[in-house]
Homo-oligomer: A and B are copies of this chain.
Amino acid sequence: MRKVTTVAVIGAGTIGASWAAYFLGRGLKVRASDPAPGAEALIARMAAGIGADTAGLVFERDPVRAAAGADFVQESAPERYDVKLGLLPAISKVLGPDVPIASSSSGLLVSRLREGCLHPGRVLIGHPFNPPHLMPLVEVVSGEGADPAAVEAAMAFYRGVEKYPIHIRKEVPGHVANRLQAALWREAVHLVAEGVASVADVDAAISEGPGLRWALMGPSLTFHLAGGDGGMQHFLGHLLPAMQTWWDDLGTPNVDAALQAKLVAGVEEEAAGRDLAALAARRDRFLRELVALRKKTDS
């Protein structure tokens, strides 16, 4: 497998610049490209924010020149087929045949992103969770026609830079994490709509309860432990009937103007005058320390 020393970051808006900063922080050489005037400065600012050295950064306005010589490509251009299909085929022609091209796309079909590319099977989705420099998750979508060696190389690359890639075998809307978020939020919105509890209290039902566990383990492993010595088998035998009762009662809210106003008023009440920038800074500080705590837990 090709050793990755140089990553091309094609598209350096919020997502791409965060990727570039993260890769620099991992000691990789980064060749970045973006048509926007402030892109190089954005990367530098994000790199400074995580204490990453920008000595390994080369910025090229032309994406094809940026891609040449890279061992891995992370593409984060705007989320439109016309934009991405204006980049990927040209880039693919200047890369070695074994260089994976991963798109940060959250919603486009990888099978369409492959169209017109040289060695199309190495074009994948490598969808980060925002912001990429803080969140470990990367969703690797292979889809029909993927080259298994490229999938393996991409998974190995992300693991090697301490991201946590998961392999999504079938294309579905929202990949996996956004669907799970949508499922949780749908019921949260339903409970607010029905007047069962306030926005702040529904939020706290997560952050003071199961959310604390989910920062370490996903829902299935959590229930495996909830089953005591019998694990998931016991859990299913004893708690599936109650679970089914809850499933049958979950709601599907209609988010009309009145409910939107209720949600907006609810989060503003919850924020209690703290401004968004301060809350975001608090979240990011917390995330950094949380990732460190998890490392300590498993060391």
Q: Which residues of A contact B (CB under 8 A)?
A: 107, 129-130, 135-137, 139, 164, 166-170, 172-174, 176-189, 191-192, 194-199, 201-221, 223-226, 228-229, 231-233, 236, 240, 242-247, 249-250, 252, 255, 260, 263-264, 266-268, 270-271, 276, 279-280, 282-283, 285-287, 289-291, 293-294, 296-298
Contact A207 B203 (CB under 8 A): no
**Of B191, B218, B290, which is within 8 A of A215 by CB?**
B290
Cβ contacts A to B, 8 pairs, < 8 Å: A136-B209, A137-B208, A166-B205, A167-B198, A170-B196, A176-B196, A185-B243, A233-B264
Which of A199, A218, A282 has the most chain B CB atoms closer than 10 A to its own CB?
A218
**Of B135, B173, B196, B285, which is within 8 A of A209 by CB?**
B135
Copies of this chain, complex-wide, total: 2
Give the chain B neighbours of A223 by CB distance below 8 A.
185, 267
Contact A249 B201 (CB under 8 A): no
Given contacts A191-B176, A260-B236, A264-B231, contact A211 B201 (CB under 8 A): no
